[in-house]
A and B are shown apart, each in its own frame.
Chain A
Amino acid sequence: MSTSAAEHLARAAAGRHPELPETTCGTVRLDMLEGGRTEHWYLTIDRQEVRVERSADEADLVVRADREVFDRIAAGRLHLAAALLRNDLAGQGNLRLLMMLRRLFPGPPDARHPRDVAGFPYRPVPR
């Protein structure tokens, strides 16, 4: 059973993210549509700190999609850029933040490290 987008946002998205550039600041609102209802999630990215709230406030970037689309992204089963091209997901505002948002979601669960694919003993040289 994979994590839903809501669970992922609540548990894993908030906090410190060293993988985000220290120059990135901005607000992102995720509008998750389901059965005529919209659930709003509001992310504040302040350098490498991310705050997650439930709010329908204005944001620098608003991302709208069916809840199911967000769930697939949160499970690492849908590529955010592909979803945008497919028009399964719509972005409005500062789309550059979308690239940063991508880093707050996981990659595919079955992805491998190049080291594990190389099929040869790892042999670091002392330095």
Chain B
Amino acid sequence: MKQELVSVLAGNAFAMGDAQGDMEAHPCAPIGLFSFDTRFLSHWVLTVDGERLQSLSRDDLTYFETRFVLVPGAASHYVDADVSVIRHRCLDEGFHEQLTVLNHSAEPADFTVRMEIGSDFADTAEIRHPGPRRPTATADPQRGELRIRHRRGRFTRETCVSSTAPADVDQRGMTFRIRVEPNGAWRTDLHVSMIIQGAGERDLRADIDSHREQVRRTMRDDLARWCDQAPELVADRKPLAAAYRQALTDLAALRYTPLAYAERVPVGGLPWAMTLYGRDALVTCLETLPFTPELTPATLRMLALAQGGQLDDYHDEEPGKILGELRYGEAAAFDDEPTALYYGAADTTPLFVVLLDEYERWTGDADLVRELRHPARMALDWMTEYGDPYGDGYLRYQPRNTTNGVANQTWRNSPEAIVDRHGVLPPYPRATCELQGYAYDARIRGARLAREFWDDPEYAERLEADAACLRERFNHDFWLPQRGYYALAVTPDGKPVDALTSAVGHLLWSGIVEPERADSLAAHLCGPDLFTGWGVRTYADGQRPYNPVGAHLGAVWPSDNAFVAAGLRRYGYDDEAARIAAGVFAMAETLGGSVPEVIAGYPRRLTKYPVQLPAAGRPQSWASGGLLMLLATMLGLRPCADNLLVNPVIPTGYGRIELLDVPGRWGRTDAYGRDRDGDRRMRGGRGEGTRRAA
């Protein structure tokens, strides 16, 4: 897997292949054409006269469309071909590839163009070891169609490939014996339908010509509309504007419509998380409220619909719990994986309430708060009834599915992520610190909703009493006075898991921290053990398990940093927040393109260039959303009654930033900021802001 991988994506579908546009299944990455967690093409290889092609250029037109310009033959420093091939692919509900063969010579030329086609119908859960399926391939030369079908009981998945130009179809592909006139061109449109039979009456068969054009145009319009509706960023710093634009486009690309649902919600991201994850979706919504608030009601309603309703060990489900993961592949259908509806997440439920409250503060959409009273109340009750197994007020998790459940049911979900300074894993159930922060915040916010919208002041008082009690106990049990930070977790018998992590930043974001302790946390977060220069590490250097390439043991996540920076500003550490925002943006700008969800935790002064991790997803909703949240944090955007408060603290060297048409309960309003260097030159004060209602 040394080659660059090229993808197009649309919703939960994506096609990933090499720089020539060929797709050949490989155990290290989900190569091929995927939709609804199923690989519909595992082999898609183009040859001309038996030769593979090499790439001259590539144009990634939009996230769903790419054009490759290719010539036959092995790579050499000098290419003098009489023939070239343009491969123009586009993905919407189906996959389309237009092949154009150009004859550059003065004589007519005959070519044999061949597309090798195969499908293994692997589930996204089994890319490393695809199961032994025996799909049947049926060639229909009359219709120029190849159908490949996999059946297991009534479960049927089918790939149907058709060509507009006449083709010799066989079970392994299509051959075109063509003659191209001098300086002429030959074309065919290959269309691949991905058919999920019977699942929710959803028919993914797209009509070939008219529909495709229509969908493609609709997708272009839709992308333009999405970008138009978001605030406009005008920045002296050009790479910042480019990073903003890219983040918005990523968020547009990563929306999909779940089965049984009418609106679009964010998927986790490419390539491993192209489905609805409760956490990723909630976090993305929290990050993007000042920019793309329309993601939130769709997400909250979908998660309410899928809210846990019963006790179920295999799916780690309890009544009131908010979804962890939702998949549609064969592994989910046959319970090989618990992902048909998996609830192994302890943070999604409090975050559901936090998002509902935060959304109302930004938009004033009281109707949604009333509409979602029942699920929000179930979520709040879950925290006490099921989330707190010892009844001591702490939210804890323990997978009941010990076969293939998630070991750590927080955003630090790798099996070794929750570990003390010496590398010791705590027993279950685990009470991690940021869960207590979220639970505290959810109760405070739930109390506001109960009082202002649900007409239930008694419930509000109970929630506030629980929150106060939790805060007091937490500040007693989790605080490590010798070290000056909160423990990562406590064990079942109350012993602190003493590691220093970025989770203390989430505690600031939640507001559970006693103000006199925030100084020490800010110093840790911006100290050399946690801050790399590109952002804050998940897990601090100087502890035994620290590893700069460990996803949750030292690597740096933009989404994590967005919450850390927001937390620092909440407690008044404005310069520290600006430093972190500047670090993450410098990383995103240096790498260019979509920001990866995680980079290695090496010090910036050591590597100079951000070190990428091969397993990191890109684009990822919460990483792209994280950049937006960091921007909002720099500008100090905050809703206050019917006004937008703007309190900018812009990193040095950024010059002026204008965010125009920020949507909210005020209608639309603008926010301005300037870094202090510029500001000293201009006015000698600290940034500038506006405060006005439209």
List chain A positions with a Cβ less than 8 A from chain B. 19-23, 76, 79, 81-82, 84-88, 90-92, 95-96, 98-99, 102-103, 106-108, 110-115, 117-118, 120-125, 127
Contacts and interface: CB of A to CB of B under 8 A. Distances in A.
B374 interface: yes
B393 interface: yes
Given A81-B340, A107-B317, 18 more contacts: A21-B374, A22-B374, A82-B334, A84-B200, A85-B332, A87-B156, A87-B197, A91-B260, A95-B200, A96-B305, A102-B310, A103-B309, A107-B311, A110-B313, A111-B310, A112-B313, A118-B428, A122-B389
Contact of B328 (A20, A85, A125): A85
22 contacts: A20-B374, A22-B374, A79-B340, A81-B340, A82-B333, A82-B340, A84-B199, A86-B334, A87-B199, A90-B198, A92-B201, A95-B200, A99-B260, A110-B313, A111-B313, A114-B398, A118-B396, A120-B389, A121-B390, A125-B391, A125-B393, A125-B469
The main secondary structure of chain A at its interface with chain B is loop
B408 to A, nearest CB: 16
Contacts of A84: 199-200
A22 to B, nearest CB: 6
A127 B259 contact: no
B374 A103 contact: no
Contact of A114 (B373, B374, B386): B386
B465 interface: yes
Given A82-B340, A88-B153, A112 B391 contact: no
Nearest to A20: B374
Contacts of A86: 153-155, 333-334
A110 B315 CA distance: 13
A124 B391 contact: yes
B200 A127 contact: no
Contacts of B429: 114, 117-118
Nearest to A124: B391
A57 to B, nearest CB: 20
Interface in B231-276: 259-261
Given A79-B341, A91-B200, A108 B398 contact: no
B312 A120 contact: no
Nearest to A126: B469
B389 A114 contact: yes
Contact of A102 (B309, B313, B387): B309
B335 interface: yes
B184 to A, nearest CB: 47
Contacts of A122: 389-391
Contacts of B378: 19
B604 interface: no
B392 interface: yes
Contact of B400 (A81, A85, A117): A117
Interface size class of B (residues with CB under 8 A): 35 or more
A123 B390 contact: yes
Contacts of A90: 198, 201
Interface string B580-610: 0000000000000000000000000000000
Nearest 8 Cβ contacts at the A-B interface: A107-B310, A124-B391, A95-B260, A85-B333, A118-B389, A103-B309, A111-B311, A21-B374
B389 A115 contact: yes
Contacts of A82: 332-335, 340
Contact of B155 (A87, A103, A125): A87
B391 A123 contact: yes
A118 to B, nearest CB: 4
B115 to A, nearest CB: 30
B434 interface: no
B199 A112 contact: no
A127 B310 contact: no
B398 A117 contact: yes
Nearest to B429: A118
Contacts of A19: 309, 319, 378
A21 B305 CA distance: 9
Interface in B403-448: 428-429
B86 interface: no
Interface of B: 153-156, 197-201, 259-261, 304-306, 309-315, 317-319, 328, 332-335, 340-341, 371, 373-375, 378, 386-387, 389-393, 396, 398, 400, 428-429, 465-466, 469, 473, 492
A30 B318 CA distance: 26
B34 to A, nearest CB: 16
A33 to B, nearest CB: 13
B312 A111 contact: yes
Contacts of A23: 371, 374
A81 B492 CA distance: 34
Contacts of B319: 19
Nearest to A105: B310
Contacts of B305: 96, 99
B488 to A, nearest CB: 20
B598 to A, nearest CB: 30
A106 B311 CA distance: 9
Contacts of B312: 79, 107-108, 111
Nearest to B37: A85
A114 B386 CA distance: 6
A2 B124 CA distance: 35
A92 B393 CA distance: 44
A120 B260 CA distance: 41
A76 B328 CA distance: 20
A111 B311 CA distance: 6
B398 A118 contact: yes
Given A21-B304, A86-B154, A118 B492 contact: yes
Given A86-B333, A95-B200, A108 B328 contact: no
A91 B386 CA distance: 31
A125 B468 CA distance: 13
Contacts of A22: 373-374
A6 to B, nearest CB: 20
A81 B389 CA distance: 27
A99 B306 contact: yes
Contacts of A88: 153-154
Contacts of A85: 155, 199, 328, 332-333, 340
A51 B386 CA distance: 30
A87 B198 contact: yes
Contact of B390 (A92, A108, A120, A127): A120
B365 to A, nearest CB: 15
A114 B492 CA distance: 13
B456 to A, nearest CB: 13
B201 A103 contact: no
A102 to B, nearest CB: 6
Contact of A127 (B198, B304, B398, B466): B466
Nearest to B400: A117
B261 A96 contact: yes
A29 B261 CA distance: 19
A21 B333 contact: no
A19 B429 CA distance: 27
A123 B493 CA distance: 12
Contacts of B201: 90-92, 95
A106 B317 CA distance: 12
B200 to A, nearest CB: 6
Contacts of B374: 20-23
B492 A87 contact: no
A107 B310 CA distance: 5
